[in-house]
Amino acid sequence: MRGRIKVRAAQLCALLLTVASWHFARLPDAAPATATSPAPVFAFQKLPLNTATTKRDIRAVAPAYDKIRHWISSVGAAVALADLDANGRADDTCLVDPRDDSVTLLPAPGTGSRYAPVTLAPTGLAYNATMAPMGCVPGDYNEDGRMDALVYHWGRSPILFLRKADPMTSAAFAPQELVQPYQVWNTNAVSLADFDGDGHTDIVVGNYFPDGARVLDPTARQPELQMQDSMSAGYNAGRNRVLLFQGARGGTTPQARFAEAAGALSAEMANGWTLALGAQDLNADGLADLYVANDFGPDRLLRNISTPGNPRFQLMDGIRHLTTPKSKALGRDSFKGMGVTFTDLNRDDVPDMVVSNITEEFALLESNFAWISARKNVLDDDGTAYYDDHSEPLGLSRAGWGWDIKAGDFSGDGQTQILQATGFLKGTTNRWPELQELAMTNDELLVHPGAWPEFGPGDDVSGDDPDRFFVRDSNGRFQDIAAQLGIDNPGPTRGMALADVDHDGRLDFAVANQWRQSYFYRNTRTTQRPFLGLQLLRPATACGGPATSAATPAIGATALVRSGAAGTRTGQVHPANGHGGVSSPELLFALGAAATPAKVTVAWRDACGVRHSTDLTLTPGWHTVLLGTDGTAREITR
């Protein structure tokens, strides 16, 4: 009898534990009023960026990948917003369209026909059909005050298009190799920052397939033509690289010199299947740290411990608490990192990180991450990163097959909203059963593309996933209201870019869709609120060089804004974060209900690498501020 009682007690305990586990694991239901009330605050006008004509929807690939050519053809759409024509507003678009492998500069829709679309073609450089553009990153790479563009590819190393003349035409850009001679890389992400603290913007390149692999060459037969060697711990990818600024010149024969910093990234830091990169100064030491979002294995958070000319990084790991699954401890996850953005969700003036993963219900239900800072000094000398994942309680854990992700204040009231691109392969035959089998395949077979099930033309994997627009409700939980706003954009989306293109204080965005038409979404909300917009520039001159009237975006500069009821807000000029989307190098802050001046503390490095900080008082509206080499900052007119 006593034995039966013990058994029954044990069964009852097991039942209670099961029910309790289900209760804590399930997503809480939102009240209908809570879920729908934010929608009227937002309104967007949808405008096409390119034509609806689809010339093709799949790529030619190496024979080793032929049976999975739809999978191999799943990336390549990208978009950026920047001020390319020097009119003082980030109202220009760089669009990468995989349907014809074009890279086009054009005015954002609704901002006037200021110039005819400009095609960036690598004239005079080695280029053929085995190479395809994957992204476009605007920037002033030769520090002459003109905006250039970097285009990265599969099949070759990136190309710089340096602006040499006016007006905006194809002939106004001079193509130049980023590395000489060019190398066979397969790049999926690029980020910009002054990584070594010498006062110049450097480049970090995130590569995917192994170096040398001619993935898009139908004649290629190479041992490098592999797939990942693990679904959760793949390290056989191409090597990521840090390229340091070496020197430059402007004029009619512009040039920018960058050199790889050998050994800056260890093998453990550099060999993941990288899909996204993010640069941000997480510990306020004036150096940009680096988040590497890897497919098929752990993401990497790298604390920057560099000195001028000597870039070095420390690999950081989060704390695994008693209730933390291993895959939700920073630096130990086994998920599929696809995008990263930075924001401050807990309002402690320390950047938090939101990361896209695959979160398909009844399929690969992993989890997005919302890495929230647990204390002010988030990066400890012992290699501990004090970030915990709060994606589930915040309502951000599940979204579908995620890609790029961006955070911004589209409502103008100081609240953060989160945009997320989703979707993988669009077709008519559901291949999720085969993908589920693949996910359980022995790693010894996984690396061989010939052992994979077929993912060819017409096959579908999460092809109808909608984009997400997460809005925080009064309970602090995010709700997706994209469908209510008509911006859910079902189908494969890759890149997203943010900018206030007409400087009206309303944040706009653009999306790059894979194998279909891409769009610009103009913010048309009727509620206008006081705001502060900052264009932070520094003189376009070398250390100790002559004074110049030209200015360039102050990449890495930070602003801390204090404004009455709006409280304190921080922002950093790091536009090239994520996968496939590059936002404008500008900062936009809500000021609260009262249109009163704001106290602003700006910090930056000058061209000699010296750190400065100064205080300003600025009225609501847009301001262009020149950050001097003498530690002063003054407003200028452009």
Cα 163 vs. chain centroid, distance in angstroms?
A: 25
Statement: residue 20 has pLDDT above 70: no
- Quote the radius of gyration of the chain (alpha carbons, Å): 24
Cα 214 vs. chain centroid, distance in angstroms?
A: 25
Determine the Cα–Cα distance for residues 412 and 266; give it in Å rounded to an integer: 42
Q: Residues 476-491: pLDDT tens digits?
A: 999 999 999 999 999 9
For residues 155 and 222, is the Cβ–Cβ distance under 8 A? no
Report the side by side order of strands in the sheet with 519-523: 44-48, 519-523, 508-513, 493-499
Q: Label residue 68 by pLDDT band (50, 70, 90).
A: very high
What does pLDDT average to over the chain? 93
Task: Tell me the two tokens of residue 175.
Answer: 């193509």
Q: Residues 509-535: pLDDT tens digits?
A: 999 999 999 999 999 999 999 999 999
Q: Residues 109-164: pLDDT tens digits?
A: 999 999 999 999 999 999 999 999 999 999 999 999 999 999 999 999 999 999 99
Statement: residue 220 has pLDDT above 90: yes
For residues 437 and 446, is the Cβ–Cβ distance under 8 A? no
Give the Cβ contact number of residue 379 at 10 Å.
22
What would the mean pLDDT of 381-388 be, rounded to a whole number?
98
What would the mean pLDDT of 12-22 be, rounded to a whole number?
46
Statement: residue 302 has pLDDT above 70: yes
Lowest-pLDDT choice from 1-5, 273-277, 464-468, 565-569:
1-5
Q: Residues 565-594: pLDDT tens digits?
A: 778 899 999 999 999 999 999 999 999 887
Q: Label residue 10 by pLDDT band (50, 70, 90).
A: low
Alpha helices by DSSP H, listed for 383-431, are 391-394
Amino acid making up residue 281: D
Q: How far is CA 621 from CA 245, 495, 504, 624, in A?
A: 34, 28, 8, 10
Q: What is the pLDDT of residue 2?
A: 55
User: At CA 103, angle to CA 102 and CA 106, rounded to 5?
Assistant: 120
* Residue % of the chain over a pLDDT of 70: 94
Q: What is the pLDDT of residue 7?
A: 47
Q: What is the pLDDT of residue 30?
A: 41
Count, residues in the chain: 638
Largest Cα–Cα distance of the chain, in whole Å? 95
Q: Residues 409-441: pLDDT tens digits?
A: 999 999 999 999 999 999 999 999 999 999 998
Statement: residue 4 has pLDDT above 60: no
Q: Residues 528-573: pLDDT tens digits?
A: 999 999 999 999 988 888 878 899 999 999 999 998 777 889 999 9
pTM value is 0.95
Q: What is the pLDDT of residue 9?
A: 53
Q: What is the pLDDT of residue 598?
A: 94
Give the Cβ contact number of residue 54 at 10 Å.
11
Q: Which residues are bridge partners to 535 per DSSP?
A: 624
